[in-house]
Amino acid sequence: MIEINKSIDKSVPLLLLLLYLLGNVCLAELRGSGDLGVVIERERGSVLIIETSKRSILARVEKLGDLSHASVVFSRDQRYAYVFGRDGGLSKIDLLQDKLVRRVVQAGNSIGGAISQDGRFIAVANYQPGGVKIFTSDTLELVADIPAVYGDDKRSRVVGLVDAPGRQFVYSLFDAGEIWLLDMRDPSRIEIQKFSDIGRQPYDALLTPDGRYYLAGLFGESGLALLDLWHPEEGVKRILPEYGKDDEKLPVYKMPHMEGWSVTGNLAFVPAVGLHQVLVIDMLQWRLVKSIPVAGQPVFVMARPDGRQIWVNFAFPDNQQVQVIDVEDLSVSRTLQPGKGVLHMEFTPRGEEVWISVRDDNQILVYDTRSFQEMARLPAVSPSGIFFTSRAAKTGL
C-alpha cells in the first residue's frame, strides 16, 4: 500500500486552484500586436492604446508632452509605437506592456517622422531648429543631426518626411524650396542628394505605395513636384503647373499634412489647397483627370485598403462632416455628419471599418464602410490622430 502524506494531500486542491488562476491571468494578458493601434489625445498629452476587433480601449499612456500635431510610426514587429510630438518630443511606447519606454526632447518644434525600411532608425522632421535628426529605434540614441541649411547659412523647416526603399529617407525644405534624399545604407557615412528649385513652399508629400515616386505639394504656387526614386539622376519634375492657377483661393485654415493623400490603381487623390476640390491625377501620364467638388477644403484624402472608396475630411468651418468618393465614377457618393471637429480617419487593415476622431465631441466613431452604419462610439479626450499597427508593413507611412 502507498502511504500519502496527508498534509500534501490537503494542499493539492489549493495548489491546483492557484495554478488554474495563474494560467488564466497569463492567458488574459497575452494578445497579438497586429490588432492594436493608438489614438492621440492632443490636449491631454496622452495616447490611448486600442484594439480594433473588439473596438475597445486597453490603456492610456500619459506625460507625452505637446501632441497638437502628433504622428506615429511602428516597429517592424508592431510592438512599439514611436510618437512624434510638436514640442520636439520623441516617445517610444510598448503597446504590449502599456507603458512609456523612453522619451527624448530632441528639438524645439517638430512635425513628424519616419522609420527606416529595416526598422533600425527613426528620423524626425524639425521646424526649430530646421533639419532632421536620426535615432536608433531600440534605445533612441542620436545617430545623426542633419541641419536643413540653404542659401546664406539659413535654416529651413522640414516637412513631408517619409521612408523609402534602400534605407533612405526623403523630405522637403519648406523655406528653401528643395527636396533632399538621404541614404542611410552606411550610417557612419550618410549621403545626401539635394534637389533645388522644385517650387515654392513644399508643404506635404506622398510616397506611392510601391516606393517609387515622391510627390510634394506646393503652397507658394500651383503644381506639384515629382521625384522618381528609381531615377533620381533625372531630377525633380514639375507636374500640373496650371491647376487652380486662375481660381480664387480661399483662406487656408488647416494645411493638409501627415501624408494624408492616397493612391488607388493608377490614380492619385490629392487635396487641393485653398479650394473645395480633390484632385485626381493619372500617374501613368501625370496629368489631371478630374477636380472633384467637395464640401470644404480637404485635409485628409484617404483610400480604403481595397481602393474602391476615398474618404475625405475638411478644415474649419466644414470639419463636422466627412464625404466618401466612389472611385469608379469619381463623384461624392455619401456625406456623413460624425460630429464637431473631425480631425483624422484610419481604416482597419482590411478596410471593413473606419475609425474617425471627433475632437470637439470627445469621441471616436467607428463606421462600417459598406453600409455606412455607426458601429461604435468610444470616449477620448480631444482625439486627433488615429494610427493602427498595420502601418508597420507599409512604405512611406
Largest CA distance in the chain: 102
What does the alpha-carbon distance between residue 216 and residue 354 come to, in Å, rounded to a whole number? 26
Whether the CB-CB separation of 278 and 262 falls below 8 Å is answered with: no
**Residue 8 confidence (pLDDT):** 44
**pLDDT tens digits along 48-78:** 999 999 999 999 999 999 999 899 999 999 9
Please give the C-alpha separations between residue 29 and each of 24, 32, 57, 82, 189, in angstroms, as whole numbers: 9, 10, 14, 22, 43
Q: What average pLDDT does this structure show over 173-202?
A: 96
- Asked if residues 295 and 321 have their Cβ atoms less than 8 Å apart, the reply is yes
Give me 143's grid cell: 545617430
- Domains annotated on the chain, with CATH: 106-250 (2.130.10.10), 260-337 (2.40.10.480)
Model confidence band, residue 222 (pLDDT cutoffs 50, 70, 90): confident
Rounded mean pLDDT of 363-370? Answer: 98
The letter for the amino acid at 247 is D
Tell me: pLDDT of 161 over 90: yes
Mean pLDDT for the stretch of residues 272-283: 91
Three cell numbers, residue 43: 490636449
> 71: which strand partners?
84
On whether the CB atoms of residues 281 and 240 are closer than 8 A, the answer is: yes
Q: What is the value of pTM for the model shown?
A: 0.90
Note the pLDDT of residue 261: 87
Q: Give the pLDDT band of residue 223 (cuts 50, 70, 90).
A: confident
